[in-house]
Amino acid sequence: MPVINAFKSAVNFLSAPQYLVTAMLVLLLVGLRSKLLWSKRGGLFLLVAIGGGMAISYLDPNFNAVASLPDNVPIVGMIFLVGFFFWFAMNQAYENDRRIAAGLPTIEAADSAQKVFSWPDLVYVELICLVVVMAVMIVWSIFLKAPLEEPANPTDSPNPAKAPWYFLGLQEMLVYYDPWLAGVVLPSLIIVGLMAIPYIDTNPKGNGYFTFRERKWEITLFLLGFLVLWCTLIALGTFLRGPNWNFFGPYEFWDVNKLVPLNNINLSEIIWIKMLKRSLPNFWLIREIFGLVIVGFYVAALPLLLSKTLLRRFYEKMGTPRYLIGVSLVLIMISLPIKMYLRWFFNLKYVVNIPEFAFNI
């Protein structure tokens, strides 16, 4: 069927990392502000579109082979659960925003005036949850056997060799950053950054109820990290990365022999060889001076510059320590998509490349 095949190739093409991440970014930024998406009708539309699309995709043998691996089933579940709760949270946030705008109490405020006895109101809700979870776990366990592969063989490495699924976002980062950043520094900063959230976010509003309008910045930045840079990259690493960590579209066969040309070049090569028409200087400090200045500017000078210009409002509201830590963390988070786009559109490999000290950025 040529029509279906053309459609499949189009989807394969469009799910390449550069389009997938761009689409998710645009969907997030536009979607958060579109009221229609978070209504019941919008949610139903999303469910039918995503659920139907995936259900039909299972008919494709290549999609089926990857998506129905026992260990990938939870990730399909994660996509739907995270998607549902995202919609559910935003649905209540928009309802509350409407009420606040109309001068009415929020859903939660209408409820919170009174207290109820924990027995039975709370205890029974919990009991029902436990029973449902246990039922789901038992049914899931009966119908899906836990996989067991060949016995461990340290001399025979599988291709692709993948980390546990919840770390696949980090493994995907390895494409763009060296292991010391993608595997050590950035994960540590994710943990530190998460812990720092309550101390950086001084907005007193939106405590104890769903709202979007009162917390636009916080929610947008958090969801940029959680939905786009964490969950999307996990899905990408699980379903779209095959042998040699090459990209494969959802309907593409995982061909071990797929060749992807590697023509990435370093910033120092672009500047010294392509632009200045010279050979690379031997001494690393001179060779990498442009990259070092750019990174130094991004990490150290940009937060200060922004405090005087674009983010002045935040700087004045937050105070110096909060502002500097918060903006630095956000800039480091945003550096991931920046590095991704530099790779996709300029084939940039390293901004700073000092193999002398195994120091590459």
Partner 1 sequence: MVPRWRQIQEQIVASQFWKSIFRVGIPNTNRKRVLAMLGNVVLHLHPVKTRKSGVKMRYTWCAGGVTFFLFLVLTFTGLLLMFYYRPTVEYAFVDILDLREQVPFGIMREVHRWGAHAMVISVWIHMFRVFMTGSYKPPREFNWVIGVILLVLTLLLSFTGYLLPWDQLAIWAITVGSNMASATPLMGIQGPGTGLLKIGDIPLVTSTNDARFGLLGGRFVGAGALLRFYVLHCVGIPLIAAFLMAVHFWRVRKDGGISGPA
Residues 43-72 that bind partner 1 (CB under 8 A): 71
Residues 97-136 that bind partner 1 (CB under 8 A): 105-109, 111-123, 125-126, 129-130, 133-134
CB of 35 to partner 1, least distance (A): 17
Determine contact, residues 93/38, Cβ cutoff 8 Å.
yes
Taking alpha carbons only, the member of 13, 30, 9, 20 closest to residue 341 is 20
Instruction: Read off the tokens for 209.
Output: 């109820």
Determine which residue in the list 5, 34, 141, 347 makes contact with partner 1, applying CB under 8 A.
Answer: 141
CB of 276 to partner 1, least distance (A): 27
Phi and psi of 241, rounded to 5°? -115, 115
Phi and psi of 247, rounded to 5°? -75, 135
Cα separation of 71 and 15, whole Å? Answer: 22
β-partners of residue 247 are: 241
Q: Is 40 in the site for partner 1 (CB under 8 A)?
A: no
| 171 to 210: interface string for partner 1, x by CB under 8 A | x------xxx-xxxx-----x--xx-xxx-x-xxxxxxxx
Q: Is 283 in the site for partner 1 (CB under 8 A)?
A: no
Q: Which stretch binds partner 1 (CB under 8 A): 15-23, 162-170, 287-295, 308-316?
A: 162-170
Instruction: Read off the tokens for 332.
Output: 């480091």
Q: Is 285 in the site for partner 1 (CB under 8 A)?
A: no
CB of 134 to partner 1, least distance (A): 7
Residues 67-96 that bind partner 1 (CB under 8 A): 71, 74, 77-78, 81-82, 85-86, 88-89, 92-93
Q: DSSP secondary-structure letter at 42? A: H
Determine contact, residues 336/266, Cβ cutoff 8 Å.
no
Q: Which stretch binds partner 1 (CB under 8 A): 155-163, 249-257, 278-286, 302-310?
A: 155-163
Residues 215-234 that bind partner 1 (CB under 8 A): 215, 219, 222, 226
Q: Is 358 in the site for partner 1 (CB under 8 A)?
A: yes
Query: To which H or E segment does residue 278 belong?
Result: none
Residue with the two structure tokens 């699924």: 165
Burial class for 137, CB neighbours closer than 10 Å (0-12, 13-18, 19+): exposed
